[in-house]
Structure 1
Amino acid sequence: MTSTPSSPPRGRRVALSLTTLVTALVVGLPGTVHAEPGDDEVDIDELNQRAEELEETYDGELLQFTEIKERVEKAEEDLAKIEERLDASRTGVSAIASTRYKSGGLDPALQVVFSSDPEDMFADAAALSYLGQSQSEQISELIETRDEAALVAEELQDEKTEAEELIEKLESEREEVEARIEEYEEEQIPETAGDGTIPASAKGWGWSGASPRMAAIRDEIVMKFGAPYPVGCLRNSADDHGVGNACDFMMSSGGAIPSSTNQALGTQIAQYGINNADRLGIKYIIWEQQIWQSTSRQWTWMNDRGSTTQNHYDHVHISSY
């Protein structure tokens, strides 16, 4: 006759429960979430190389990619810090279980908790006043840190996916955009109102350095809407301002938030640029922390750059082909 194994003695059951706890703490929680990209993961460095190959065709769109890349890098930094906290918290909670076991075994009520599924175990154990406030707080912190790590990891993957989709879209539309650029280059530049009809108060830094097309766009807007503050164009920078293909239509000075009247004026100028983008050869417009691109035909939010001017709340930026 075969015999069935008897139930292990209580001490054995306690040891097994402790093993369950430690395994859940060390293995069940996320470890290094941002490992090297696998076959199904997005490699942001590889996308950056592809973006560099598109630089001659795109400007505003690559600005959008750069912003996504900045958010990816920030999420990676945040995740690394969270994982350090997670490791420290895991060590502390493991010590709770070890100390309680060595001091005389686990209470039967606690044994039941530690023997349950890891998710239920954490939730139940954190609620047990039996453990004492300090130990409960340590377990609660472990749960919260684990959940925070999972959330940041998910946000990181979403950002990488958005970057990949943007690059794939730009690559698919590259020939069409290059044809449009060639068409604008061959087309006659719109007539400009000329210096004689533009008030001196509208002429800001780099006024005379604007390219012929950008000068025509600028003068048409100034003649139609006026200029409450000087309009700046050419400056020493790596963007479109550096080659005279962009102007800033200021709605205030000194980094101040524009008045309600000038805020409405800035919105009118931005909308006028959108309505006449194809005729004038406008490439993109930035206003109030959003960018409108002639390719996508929609406003997209930009990263917070920390000031009214850098976030384009005090001026409308218009770039031309």
Structure 2
Amino acid sequence: MPVQDQTARRLAAVMALLVAVCGLAVTTSPATAAPRLLAAPGDSGDDGEGGSKSLIEQLEDASSGFIKAKAALKKSKEQQAALTAELKRLDSQIGPQQDVLDEIAQQAYTSGRLGAMSALVTASSADSFMDRAETLATVAAQQNAAIADLKTTREKQQRAKLAIEATIRDQQKQVNVMAKRKAQAETALKKANQGQDASSSSDGGGSASADPAPSGSGNGCTESDPTTSGCLTPRTLHALKQAQSDGFTRFTRCFREQNSGEHPKGRACDFSAEKGTFGGDATGADKTYGNNLANYFINNADELSVLYVIWYRRIWLPSSGWKSYSGAGGDPSSDHTNHVHLSVD
């Protein structure tokens, strides 16, 4: 075989070996390997909220009822405070009004029953008669006005007292509703072998204050979801924008089709602990980010109408605080160890 052919064959063999070695290095090197992307919540066919349809519906119903009762309780207490202030104002008017009426009554007693008639009979002229008649009429009008004022104030006083009593009864009613909803949520968790008391996050972050949702904002899925091609309720969109404006800007997905839960209603969002994807169990700075975000939603639960927050095998309910909560799949998505789930009323 010619030397040139042998050289060419040897060069080709060396090149093939180099290619094989390089290929092996590319596929095994950690520095260049493609990141392992785990399934996003809901992508594996479940509903991505870690519980059965029945459990999720019970938690939704219980938390929604608790939130409404809590809001009604707050409003009733505000009404009671306003009524109490009004009653105090009326009480302060009773004394002076009674003093005026007592003074008029004393004058009438001093002059006697015939005082008015005597004053008219002893008038020295027609003009004097008219002056005295006008004076007597004025005194009588003042007396009638004083009696009317006192009567009106006492009636208002009584109505205020009755209204205060009604608000107190209403408050007790709302407290009872809140207790019932709390028991409903905890019973549902217990039946699902969930819901043991769980410690709160050891991280104290997420203390920024969110603006309340606009008054009268509805809960229909009417707004475009900026994270998907779906829709969100005005309150959910508000919560998402508030979190983002306060620095929680990592990868998020909200609307998705599923059989239960708030996602298909546009009332829930999943916030990844990692920057670019739903990965494995969050650790280090990623877990701190999730802690801070969960705390942010909890600290602003009233302003954002939070139904519940799920994070790191726990669920936070407005009625009960943190409870243990693990998904049936045992993976980072169903256990919520790679993302914070937010549901909004």
TM (norm. structure 2) is 0.37
**Larger relative contact order (CA 8 Å, sep ≥ 6):** 2
Greater helix proportion:
1
TM (norm. structure 1) is 0.40
